[in-house]
Structures are given as structure tokens and as C-alpha cells.
Chain A
Amino acid sequence: MNATTQQFLNNSLGTRTTIDDVIEDLEFLDDWEERYAYIIDLGKQLPAFPDDQRTEANYVHGCQSQVWLIHHLDEDSGKLFLLIDSDAMIVRGLAAIILVALNAREPRELLTVDIDELFERLDLFRHISPTRGNGLRAMIAKIRDLAATEVGEQAPSRIS
């Protein structure tokens, strides 16, 4: 197992930290400063992103900040593992929330998660709304595409 695979599997976001933890924490904080301090702290929990993976192919295009995404399908568990990086702190924090919701899921299960509804509930929807050019929406779409591709590839093999 190489170092990058270890980084995928050791990611606590979406495994040890669950979406219920995040919802509970954020609902407890009503002051915007505390909420953003919390989101930024979550961003600090993103595992290190391999330097050699910051490539054009892994780059998610957005207007204001840079976002990179890589994935790994674990053959033993059938789960999709994700790593994300960004140069902006709040985007990193929001990416961490997305990972808590989507990381280490089987692709079929991942596709059932309603991210828009989750962000509405957290009162953060404006950050992923189509009007914002920060690349998060494009990233969510890319993750869902990855999952759909995995499901699509698996489906025929099950039929045969």
C-alpha cells in the first residue's frame, strides 16, 4: 500500500467525524464568527494532499479559489475515498463538510446524499449555490460523476 492510499484510508472526515457531529456542532453556534472559526478548524483536519497530485487533471475550475480533488476506490470495501485541497481556508472548511458527508461511502450510497439540502440545513447553501464561483459546486458535481461512473461500471458486471 503506497503513502497516498494510506492518506485516503486514514481520513477521519466521513469516518470518525460524522455528519451528525457537524450538524450538532454548527447548530450550537449562532454567532457568525464562531461558526466560521469552526468551519476553518474543520478545514485544518483535511489530510495532507500529495504535492504531485496538484495537476491540471485534478484541478476543479472555479473563479475565486483553487480546488483539487483526487479519489480512490478501495476494492476490499467497495468504498470511494476522496481527498480535497484548496488554497482558501473557508473553501477548505466547506470541502471538509462535503467530505464528512460523502467520503468513504459506497458509490451507490453516495449518490443518495442530498448535499444541497444538507447545506441549506447548515445555513451554508449560498456557498455552494450556482451563483458562487468558488468551485465547490463543480467539485460536488465531479464527485457525483465519479460515483455514477463506478455504479455504471459495476452494474453491467453484475448482470453478466
Chain B
Amino acid sequence: MTDLSVATSLAASTLDIDAIRNEFPILGQTVHGKPLVYLDNGASAQKPFAVLDAMDRYYREMHSNVHRGAHTLGDRATVAFEGARETVRAFLNAADTRQIIWTRGTTEAINVIANGLAEKLNPGDEILVSQMEHHANIVPWQMLAERTGAKLMPVQVTPAGELDLPSFDSLLGERTRIMALTHVSNVLGTINPVQDLIARARSQGAITVIDGAQAVPHFQPDVQALDCDFYVFSSHKLFGPTGIGVLYGREELLEAMPPFMGGGEMIERVSFERTTWNTLPYKFEAGTPPIAEAIGLGAAIDYLQSLDRPAIEAAEQALLNRCNELVETVPGMEVIGTAASKVPVMSFKIAGLHPSDIGTLLDQQGIAIRTGHHCAMPLMDFFSVPGTARASFAFYNTLAEVDQLFQALRKIQRLLT
């Protein structure tokens, strides 16, 4: 055992996992008669009472439309709603709440940015992405490239599942107008050195967009330290409700971008001759916003911040270490994504077994994982697999659950071979 893993085991032992699990009511159920082992957190994470209660209280006690100002309920709703925006601002260490825009999720946020940057692109300009991006950080740029004549340049990935830095350097150049990279790979768990890459891209004058969907459930980004132009994430992977996400943007870029949708709330003044836009962040928030969801997301972040974050990160690394130790107990098992710096995500294949069969037979044993291409087909092509099985962990998962996963995998192997 290395010094680091001794340190992580010690820190992990200070966490009261049972108490944490009791905060997540869904985790107590059985599936096919077995206790649920939920290892599909990368697809969507579960919700603590703090989130459920905040949303319930909002609908019971203060529901009303926001920013209309004529009555008490509206004031209460607006205070709670804007309070959630402040919570997100503090979470990201953004300078101002005007830079925090609500979207439906990461996907919508990237589309808002891609749409907003269209006027900055000329034919022959280049958009740098990587081979490990989720489709949500490929397709909007592909559509933008088609519209503007720009070119999509995918940075290569190494066999270990890290960004290939020589490839990055060779593709980054004076034609690079946009760099859109994921902070953490949803398939591999790799934590990319985005701070360094943002600095390199900015020195070439490129606009930098970071997909934080898989990062924020595991650690807290600091957008000012990263010095990125945009940072986006979804609430539902961060233990908050579905239907809401966050777009953080540099203020001058947001000011220069045209609105994504027209309608109520996003206007300053409307006439049939001319409409002027509302100020940030409302310019990008047409229509009645997801009020309860924003409040739920705020509650999720408050809940997370009430926990011992270093202990949580150590406990998550301990889960990953246990996985790595147990891989050899399943003959023919191979982990896809062995980067030095990873969040607790384990994509794998087992010789002779189809991921879909693994998923079905784990489900029979109460264990939920994801199988398939994980919305990252270019990455599947790189690793020459039709798909993988992926166990993705959250801080409420236990070492015992990791053991159960491997026990179940060995049972499946006996059954299928």
C-alpha cells in the first residue's frame, strides 16, 4: 500500500457513511429482492432529503412566479430562486451572479454557447474538441462548424485514456477560435489538466469552454482559478433535480452573445418596431424559469458543502482503489481508462461477455450500472469496442458495494462461460 492510499483509507474512515446513506431515501430499497446497489451515478445521481424537502417546501409555501413583484409569495419565490443563483456563484467561485445562467442542463448550455459564438467564426477557423467528449460536447460544435465553415479538430486520446498532449499542441494554433473540452471523461473518469490547457488555448486567443458535468459531483471547480470563458454542468448529476443546469460565462462574452431564445423575461422593452434585451443573466432565460429546480439545486450544493469534502474525495478514491485491487479476481476483465488522475468511474470489459449481458445479470442481483456507448461513440471507436460496462460511484457508495459488484461479476462469469 502506498502512503497515499494509507492516507485516503484513514480519511475515509472518518466519514459516517451510514448517516450519509440515510439522507438518500431511494438507496434503502430492494431490486429483485436484493438491496439496491446504485452504481450509475455518472448517468444521474440520487437526491438527499435536503433537496426533496426544499422543493416540497417551495411548492407548499411559496410557489408563485418570480420577478413579478406584486405580492408576497412572488417576493418569497424570487428571494429563494435568486438565493440559489448566489449559491451556485459561490460554488464555482464566479465573480458575479450575472454570470450564472440557468439552462435545462449541460447540453442546452453548450448549445446556447455554440449558438452565441456563431458570429465570431469564419470559414477555415478551427474548433478544438477531444476524442473523449460526450456527444453533447461534439454535436453542437459540429452543427456550428457546418453553419460557419469552421472545422472540428479532435485531440487524440492515449491508450490509458488521457488526453494526448502532443496531439493537443499540434492541433492548437492561430486558427483555433474555440477550445471545448470535458473536465472529466464520463466513460473513463479521467480528470483532464484543463487549467493548463485553458492557459495554452487563451494564449492563442481561443475561447475556452469546459464541460463540467462529470467533474462537479466529485470536486469543486474554481472558474476564476481555471480562467476559462465558459463552464457548464447539470444539476441532476450533482444530486439535484433534473431539468436544470448551469452556464457560467465571462461577462463580456455573455454581453456580446445574442440571446438563444426569445420570449418573456429576457426582454427589456418590446414593441413591434424594436425589442431590447434584458440584462444578464435574464437575457438568456426566456420564459418562466425552472424555479423549484433552481431551489433544489441550491439545496443540493448547500448539502454537499455541509459535508467534509476532503474526506469525501478520499472515500471516493478508496472506492476506486478497491476496484483496481479486485480487477484481477475476474479473469479476462480489463479496465478501460487507467489515467493517473481519475474520479471513481470504472469502465470495463470482460473477455467473451457482452456489456449488455453483464448489465442484465447485474440488475438481477440488484446492481445498477450502465452499459453501451455512453454517448461517446468516437471514444468507443478509439478503443475498438461496441460499448463498455460502466460502474460510476458517488460518495454514498461503500467498499462493501464494490465487493458485491465483483462478487456478482464472478457469478456472471460462471454463468455465461
Question: Which A residues have a C-beta under 8 Å from some C-beta of B?
Answer: 32-33, 36-37, 40, 63-66, 87-91, 127, 133-134
**Nearest Cβ on chain B to A72's Cβ, whole angstroms:** 27
Chain B residue nearest in CB terms to A33: B415
Q: Is the CB of A90 within 8 A of B360?
A: yes
A88 to B387, CA, bound (A): 12
Q: List 14 A-B contacts (CB under 8 A).
A: A37-B415, A40-B416, A63-B372, A64-B355, A64-B359, A64-B371, A66-B386, A87-B354, A87-B386, A88-B357, A89-B357, A89-B416, A90-B361, A91-B354
Report whether B372 and A64 are in contact in the complex, using a CB–CB cutoff of 8 Å.
Answer: yes
CA A40 to CA B355, docked complex, whole Å: 15
Q: Given A32, A37, A40, A90, which contacts B356 in the complex, CB threshold below 8 Å?
A: A90
In the complex, the chain B residue whose C-beta lies closest to that of A126 is: B363
Cα-based distance from A65 to B359 in the complex (angstroms):
11
Chain B interface size band reads: 10 to 19
Which chain A residues border B354 with CB–CB below 8 Å?
Answer: 65, 87-89, 91
Give CA–CA (A93, B387) in the complex, Å.
20
Knowing A63-B372, A65-B356 are in contact, say whether A36-B387 is a contact too (CB < 8 A): no
A89 to B354, CA, bound (A): 7
Q: Which residues on B sit within 8 Å (CB–CB) of A65?
A: 354, 356
Q: Which residue of A lies closest to B354 (CB)?
A: A88
Partner of A64, one of B32, B353, B356: B356
Contacts of B346-390 to chain A: CB distance below 8 A: 353-357, 359-361, 364, 371-373, 386-387
Docked CA distance A145–B232 (Å): 44
User: Which A-B residue pairs are the 4 nearest by beta carbons?
Assistant: A88-B354, A65-B356, A88-B356, A64-B356
Chain B residues positioned under 8 Å from A64 (CB to CB): 355-356, 359, 371-372, 387
Contact yes or no, B32 A32, CB < 8 A: yes
Interface SS, B side: helix
Residues of B at the A interface (CB closer than 8 Å) are: 32, 353-357, 359-361, 364, 371-373, 386-387, 411, 415-416
Contacts of B386 on A, CB cut-off 8 Å?
A: 66, 87
Once the chains are docked, how many angstroms separate the CA of A36 from the CA of B373? 24
Which one of B354, B361, B371, B387 has the greatest number of beta carbons of chain A within 10 Å?
Answer: B354
Whether the pair A133, B372 counts as a contact (CB closer than 8 A) is yes
A91 to B360, CA, bound (A): 10
Across the two chains, which residue of chain A brings its CB closest to B411?
A33
Q: Is the CB of A90 within 8 A of B372?
A: no
Instruction: Give the residues in chain A near B371, CB-CB below 8 Å.
Output: 64
- B364 and A32 contact, CB distance less than 8 A: yes
Residue of A nearest to B353 (CB): A89
Q: Which residues of B contact A127 (CB under 8 A)?
A: 360
**20 further interface pairs, Cβ-Cβ under 8 Å (given A32-B32, A88-B354, A90-B361):** A32-B364, A33-B415, A36-B361, A36-B415, A37-B415, A40-B415, A63-B372, A64-B355, A64-B387, A65-B354, A66-B386, A87-B354, A87-B386, A88-B356, A89-B354, A89-B357, A89-B416, A91-B356, A91-B357, A134-B356
The distance from the CB of B413 to the nearest CB of chain A, in whole angstroms, is 12
**CB-defined contacts of B32 to chain A, threshold 8 Å:** 32
- How far does the alpha carbon of A90 sit from the alpha carbon of B357 in the complex, in Å? 6
Contacts of B364 in A (CB 8 A): 32, 36
From B356, B357, B361, B415, name the one whose CB has the most chain A CB atoms within 10 angstroms: B356
A91 CA / B353 CA spacing, docked (Å): 12
Nearest-neighbor residue (CB-CB) of B373 within chain A: A63
Smallest CB-CB separation from A32: which chain B residue?
A: B364
Give min CB distance, A22 to chain B, whole Å: 18
Cβ contacts under 8 Å, A40 to chain B:
415-416
In the assembled complex, the CB of B368 is this many whole angstroms from the nearest CB of chain A, namely 13
- For the complex, give the distance between the alpha carbons of A90 and B416 in Å: 9
Complex: how many Å from CA A32 to CA B415? 11
By beta carbon, the residue of chain A nearest B375 is A63
Which residues in A have their C-beta under 8 angstroms from that of B415?
A: 33, 36-37, 40
Within the complex, the shortest CB–CB distance from B153 to chain A, in Å, comes to: 28
State the CA gap A13–B323 with chains docked (Å): 42
Complexed CA–CA distance, A137 and B157 (Å): 36
Query: In this complex, which of A36, A37, A91, A127 has the most chain B Cβ atoms within 10 angstroms of its Cβ?
Result: A36
Inter-chain CA distance A89–B416, complex, in Å, is 8
Complex alpha-carbon distance, A65 and B372, angstroms: 8
Bound: A134/B355 CA distance, A: 11
Shortest distance in angstroms between B416's beta carbon and chain A's nearest beta carbon?
6
Task: Give the chain A neighbours of B356 by CB distance below 8 A.
Answer: 64-65, 88, 90-91, 134
- CB neighbours (8 Å) of B361 from chain A are 36, 90
A42 to B373, CA, bound (A): 27
